[in-house]
Structure 1
Amino acid sequence: MRAAICSEYGEPEVVRIDEIASPSLEPGHVRVRVGAAAVNFPDVLVVADKYQISVPTPFVPGSEFAGLVEEVADDVGDLAVGDRVSGTGIVGAFAEEIAAKAVSLRRIPDGVDDHTAAAFGVAHRTAYHTLRSVARIRPGETLVVLGAGGGVGLAAVQLGAVLGATVVAVASSADKLEVAASYGAKQLVDHRAGELRALLKDVAREGADVVVDPVGGDLSEPALRSLRRGGRFITVGYASGTIPRIPLNLVLVKGIRIQGFQFQDLDPDEFRRNENELVDLLVSGRAVPHIGAIYSLDDAVGALRLVGDGQAIGKVVIDLQQA
């Protein structure tokens, strides 16, 4: 099969396309013919060996995929050849085939194509669980979303609006903000236009209730300062490459709560509720990923570079059926 291979750590350009053997199939696993794979910022970090988990080389990058089950091993439950599934992992998605644990896969609802299914999982699940179970956003609250043009950020904009929040989108270009507006953002802030705290005060004079931050870096502190007393600041990731240092006196003086998001920290009952609600939103069309670019496997480097440079709008997808 053809696959993207990372044989040494570095920038996206170290990745090469080559023919390799199909992955072996162990008990509890199924072989999926990959139709589409989505590119996420952690994929860039894994290739550079800068992620929180180091993957030994050589490996196939890619953490999110959708496709068709073409072979099953023992102990895979009710999954069968011909089922359409999506899944996530650390690596392995940028290939024509992937061997995945059956318990990690989700059936793709009827009417949802591979591109949408591949792009929906990581960003929308992260954003929805963050808003529902960590931020506990309520209708009428003001939600500030940093990195609102990226995968998680744009999903948070869309889902925040669905949940009834007044969404303030913060991004680095007019193009990104235009897309954020189309997904429900009521206020648009280009953080390059001035000091972010002042810009946010202009659009949320009473202060924000919630900040969702998948970016980190220099934007975090001024966004935190924009919160009203008792506001909630949710840190989701550090796409800027810089982990911010927050003065704790701000937390004391303003009575702010700072929380982090991790899937494993969620209450199991809330997790199931959120997952069911997300499927309903996807099937109904109320929550769908914005796919800003589609690449072929041969141009996987270009897809990784676009995401790594922060130029992607929404999700970037690799079409494994595209020549």
Structure 2
Amino acid sequence: MRAVLSKAPGGPETLVVEDVLDPTPGKGQVVIEVKAVGVNYPDTLIIEDKYQFKPERPFAPGAEIAGVVEAVGEGVKGVFKGDRVIAVPGWGGLVERIAVPAAGLIKIPDEMDFETAAALVMTYGTSYYALKDRAQLKPNEKLLVLGAAGGVGAAAVELGKAMGADVIAAASTNEKVQFALDLGADNGLIYPAGKMDKAAQKTLAGELKLASGRDGPDVVYDAVGGDYCEPALRAMDWNGRYLVVGFPAGIPALPLNLTLLKSVSVIGVFWGAAVARDPAGHAANMAELMQFWKDGKIKPRVSRTFPLERAHEAIQALGDRSAMGKIVVTVES
């Protein structure tokens, strides 16, 4: 079978497509014929050895997949050949077939296509865990989303609206802000691209507060980091909750005096570890997300698709922050 492999640390251009042996299911495993692979920001990091996990090489990136169960291993119950399923292996998904534990599979609703299924779990799972479990977002609160047109940011916009919040979408271009407004955001703001000095940061803080209402946002969903952290923190309301989600613009130096002055809680969001620690809570969240989808409250926006042979281009498009919504690699055996 074909596989997209990382054989040495580097950017997407270092990935190669090679033939490898087909997997066989071990005890408690199934083999899935992969139909679609969601591309996520960790894919850009893991191939450069910059992610929390460093798989032994060669390995395939690709953290979430949708496909059809092709073979069932010993001891597996409740999963059958031909089932349409989602799996989140963390890596290894950019292949034609993959062996994964059966216990973590999510059944795909009959009316959901494979591309949508591959675009659902990681971004919406991360954002729902962040907003529901970590921030405990309440109806009518003000939610500011930084990076509102990216995968997790767009999911946060939709979920914030589904949870009854007033959502302010911030992004680097008018096109991206309009994309977030089309998702349902109540207000939008274009922030400067690139580095900002202290004066520019203070100006942005005022603009973020103005866009969020007189008192500023109750919750900040920060999927960007870098120089955007301090302005968003300065804009926050009393007893606000600041969600630390990702750092494509760099890891910021947080001015802790601001958290004291505003009684702000800074809350880390590590969805992958939370899934492993609380599988029952994860299953409950997934069931709620599927219901949101069935009710039409969320809808993954797959903006671009690439074939397996061009998976490196898909990862590059995500890494250079040009993508809006979700990018998916489709796999044809």
- TM-score bracket, normalised by the shorter chain, equals over 0.9
In the alignment, what sits opposite 1:67?
67
Letter in 1 for 2:237: R
In the TM superposition, residue 109 of structure 1 has moved relative to its aligned partner by 1.1
SS in 2 for 1:229: coil
User: Which of residues 200, 207, 225 is equivalent to 2:216?
Assistant: 207
Indicate conservation of the 8 Å contact 2:31/2:71, yes or no.
yes
AA aligned to 1:211 is V
- Identify the residue that residue 303 of structure 2 maps to in structure 1: 292
Where in structure 1 are there 5+ consecutive unaligned residues?
A: none
1:77, distance to aligned residue in structure 2 (A): 1.7
Query: How many equivalent pairs are there?
Result: 321
SS of the aligned residue for 1:182 comes to helix
Correspondence for 1:158: 158
Q: Compared with structure 1, are the counterparts of its residues 269 and 77 closer, same or farther at alpha carbon in structure 2 (3 Å cutoff)?
A: closer
Runs of 4+ in 1 over 6 A off after TM superposition: 266-269
Structure 2 CA distance for partners of 1:238 and 1:48, relative to 1, 3 Å:
same
Residue 235 of structure 1: aligned partner:
244
Residue 99 of structure 2 is aligned to residue 99 of structure 1: yes
Q: The residue matched to 1:228 in structure 2 has which SS?
A: coil
Is the 2:161–2:184 Cα contact (8 Å) retained in structure 1? yes
The structural deviation recorded for 1:267 is 6.3
Indicate yes or no: 2:289 matched with 1:278: yes
CA contact under 8 A between 1:174 and 1:190: conserved in structure 2? yes
Residue correspondence of structure 1 range 124-135 to structure 2 within 5 A: 124-135=124-135
The correspondence of residues 250-289 of structure 1 with structure 2, limited to 5 A, is 250-263=258-271, 264-265=273-274, 270-289=281-300
- CA offsets, 1:240-271, max 9 Å, x none? 2x211111111111111111123344766654
In 2, the alpha carbon distance for the partners of 1:99 and 1:296 equals 21
Instruction: Please show how residues 1-323 of structure 1 align to structure 2 within 5 Å.
Output: 1-192=1-192, 195-204=203-212, 205-240=214-249, 242-263=250-271, 264-265=273-274, 270-321=281-332
Query: Partner amino acid for 1:16?
Result: V
Asked if the contact 1:170–1:189 (Cα under 8 Å) also holds between the matched residues in 2, the reply is yes
**TM-score, with normalisation over the residues of structure 2?**
0.93
Q: Say whether the 8 Å CA contact 2:209–2:236 is kept in structure 1.
A: no
Q: What is the CA deviation profile of residues 19-50 of structure 1, one whole-angstrom value per residue up to 9, with x for unaligned ones?
A: 11112321111000000001001011111111
Residues 149, 176 of structure 2: 8 Å contact kept: yes
Distance across 2 between alignment mates of 1:164 and 1:47: 38
Structure 1 letter corresponding to 2:211: V
User: Counterparts of 1:196 and 1:74 in 2: how far apart (Å)?
Assistant: 58
> Structure 1 residues 77-86 or 262-271, which shifts more?
262-271
Q: Indicate the RMSD between aligned Cα atoms, in angstroms.
A: 1.6
